[in-house]
Amino acid sequence: MAAAAPQPPPPPFLATIPENTVPETAPFRHPLYARIRLATILDVPHIHKLIHQLATFERLAHQCTATEASLAATLFPSPNPPLPFTSFNVFILEVSPDPFPPPAPQEDTTNSSPLLKTLHLDLASEDSEKEIFRSEIGGDVVVAGFVLFFPKYSTYLAKPGFHIEDLFVREPYRKHGFGKMLITAVAGQAVKMGYGMVEWVVLDWNVNAIQFYERIGTKVYQDKRICRLTGEDLDVEGSAK
């Protein structure tokens, strides 16, 4: 719901109002329209750049060997692409100063209607990388972030869920609730499919993120440790007799 004037401002991650709601008192604010949609192979160049920005942000750029070609081959395999949401999936976050068209009815057949939101900002966002992140769909639409997720399985529930592997919002668009909007999109898809869980990983020093996750009911496990076998050690173990 749009906040009426006398109410205190909502925290940043709630500073969104439902689509088609006309704010009563926001004459000087700048609208920013946001959309989350399932990525296609045409989005690979933007996904590639976003992944490298994420790796730089995490100071792991030296570990990032993803190329446009390797991303296209593994995220959008041909000639037998998996059905949506049965394998690896990317949701793309786009923003625009102009409203997005309402979802076309046929888009529902993939069980994935785009998620739309409208923000009203005090300042227009300044994006120095606007040109290189200009969306494939044209107009003034800019790619602002992504989330990559895939099915996981909960043995005790005997139910699938989703694991969020990466979530990233470009710097000019942070602190507007877009991270929450991307989690909501994955959670919404999980609920739609009758899945039992959405899971992700946070670094233990990221206290703000952990507090936010706990506020929305997330359980953060303190006693579980992730183990990874990669590279030559994987080759040795995989060929053990």
Active site residues: 213
Cβ 65 to its own copies shortest distance, Å: 6
Is the distance from CB of 69 to CB of 78 less than 8 angstroms?
no
Cβ 235 to its own copies shortest distance, Å: 6
Cβ 238 to its own copies shortest distance, Å: 3
Q: State the amino acid at position 37 in one-letter form.
A: R
Among 67, 110, 111, 211, binds its own copies (CB under 8 A): 67
Binding to its own copies (CB under 8 A) within 145-174 occurs at 148, 150-161, 163, 165-166
Q: Does position 131 bind its own copies by CB under 8 A?
A: no
Binding to its own copies (CB under 8 A) within 23-62 occurs at 51, 54-55, 60
Q: Does position 240 bind its own copies by CB under 8 A?
A: yes
| 130: Cβ contacts below 8 Å, ≥ 6 apart | 142
Q: Does position 120 bind its own copies by CB under 8 A?
A: no
Which CB sits closer to its own copies, 61 or 124?
61
| 128: Cβ contacts below 8 Å, ≥ 6 apart | 172
* Other beta carbons less than 10 A from residue 8's beta carbon: 6
Tokens of 216: 């929305």
- d(CA 196, CA 37) in angstroms, rounded, equals 22
